[in-house]
Amino acid sequence: MNLRIEALAEVSYVIPEGRLDFDAAPGFQEAVERVLGGAGKAPAAVIIDGAALEYVSSAGLRAFLLIARAAQRAGTSFALCALQPAVRDVFELSGFSSIIAVHADRATALAQAHQGRA
Amino acid sequence: MTVQRTAVPADAAQLSVLNQFLREFWTAAALAPAGMRPFELVLEEIFMNIIMHGSQPGIAPQVEVSLMLAGDAVTMTVEDDGTQFDPLSLPPPDVTASLADRRVGGLGVFLVRKMMDTVSYARIAGRNQLRMSKRLDG
């Protein structure tokens, strides 16, 4: 899995590309936690842009759960957006969409983050 | 009716071999790619479960996967010669728990049950057998 990070002033976008399976999940979690703990100061918001995320298994869900908790500890709002249908299904079936905010696109995710509700 | 079969040792590095097997079956049967996603997920969850629960020190179980297309339903059967383990006996996770209380254990099997139309476990001649079916476009 490839991972791109776009760090802006108040929000960091994380863009995973490919498969978030048992093999990719630990590295993904570490990378996002580095963004959260980053150079001294945590960003106000971290948003995962899922447009290129093709697959998430329970190992990937575990990573998202641990990242969401780390974000909460850091006082950073955390959300996902632009999930592909198959990935959105996994989030909904597992009930994760009730504990991690999932938005249609970056603009919506960012607006919600600014209102402190992401 | 199309049936294909493959076998690998229960080693995480072999998941890519099983995924390739699934893709080849799907292509050979000329099925719509979107319908493969649930089976891909189920394959990872079940295979990783066997590695976690079925292995003994120094001995990796053999895992045999077969895929069958009959009518508009695909059936995946996963058999292993590891420790007796019925994944369907795991208690379901609480999928309504809060972020702080949420546990991930059992989530894989929970997803398997949700994604498939039918899931059944049997212990046959010293082997675990898990059979999962799903109608396509349904």
Which chain B residues are within 8 Å of A102, Cβ to Cβ?
none
**Which pTM was predicted?**
0.94
- What is residue A117's predicted lDDT score, i.e. its pLDDT? 46
- What is residue A85's predicted lDDT score, i.e. its pLDDT? 95
Residue by residue, pLDDT tens for chain B (138 residues) are 689 999 999 999 999 999 999 999 999 999 999 999 999 999 999 999 999 988 888 888 999 999 999 999 999 999 999 999 999 998 889 999 999 999 877 899 999 999 999 999 999 999 999 999 999 985
Q: Which structural domain range is residue B101 located in?
A: 2-135
* Rounded Cα–Cα distance for residues B28 and B23 (Å): 9
Structure tokens at A61: 């869900």
Identity of the residue in A22, A68, A99 whose CB atom sits nearest the CB atom of B44? A22
Which chain A residues are within 8 Å of B111, Cβ to Cβ?
57-58, 90, 93-94
Q: Which of B19, B48, B102 to mutate to test the interface with A (most CBs of A within 10 A)?
A: B102
Q: Which of A57, A67, A73, A98 to mutate to test the interface with B (most CBs of B within 10 A)?
A: A57
**Measured between CB atoms, does B17 come within 8 Å of chain A?**
no
Structure tokens at A1: 């899995």
Q: In this complex, do A58 and B40 lie within 8 Å of one another by their Cβ atoms?
A: no
| pLDDT single digits (tens) A8-56 | 988 999 999 999 999 999 999 999 999 998 666 788 999 999 999 999 9
Distance from CA of B101 to the nearest CA of A (A): 10
Identity of the residue in B12, B37, B110 whose CB atom sits nearest the CB atom of A86? B37
Number of independent structural domains in chain B: 1
- What is residue B57's predicted lDDT score, i.e. its pLDDT? 84
Which residues, 6 or more positions from B100, have their beta carbon under 8 angstroms from its beta carbon?
Answer: A69
Using DSSP's 3-state secondary structure scheme, residue B107 falls into helix
| pLDDT single digits (tens) A42-91 | 889 999 999 999 999 999 999 999 999 999 999 999 999 999 999 999 99
Domain CATH code at residue B35: 3.30.565.10
Domains annotated for chain A, with CATH where assigned, are: 2-114 (3.30.750.24)
* Rounded Cα–Cα distance for residues A43 and A41 (Å): 6
- What is residue B105's predicted lDDT score, i.e. its pLDDT? 75
Q: In this complex, do A55 and B40 lie within 8 Å of one another by their Cβ atoms?
A: yes
Identity of the residue in B34, B100, B111 whose CB atom sits nearest the CB atom of A90? B111
CB atoms within 10 A of CB A87: 20
* Rounded Cα–Cα distance for residues B5 and B2 (Å): 10
* Rounded Cα–Cα distance for residues B15 and A70 (Å): 30
* Rounded Cα–Cα distance for residues A6 and A15 (Å): 8
- E strands in A2-92: 2-7, 11-20, 45-49, 53-56, 77-81
* Rounded Cα–Cα distance for residues B102 and B72 (Å): 36
Residue A118 has pLDDT above 80, yes or no: no
Whether the CB-CB separation of B1 and B69 falls below 8 Å is answered with yes
Q: In this complex, do B99 and A72 lie within 8 Å of one another by their Cβ atoms?
A: yes
Identity of the residue in B44, B100, B115 whose CB atom sits nearest the CB atom of A21? B44
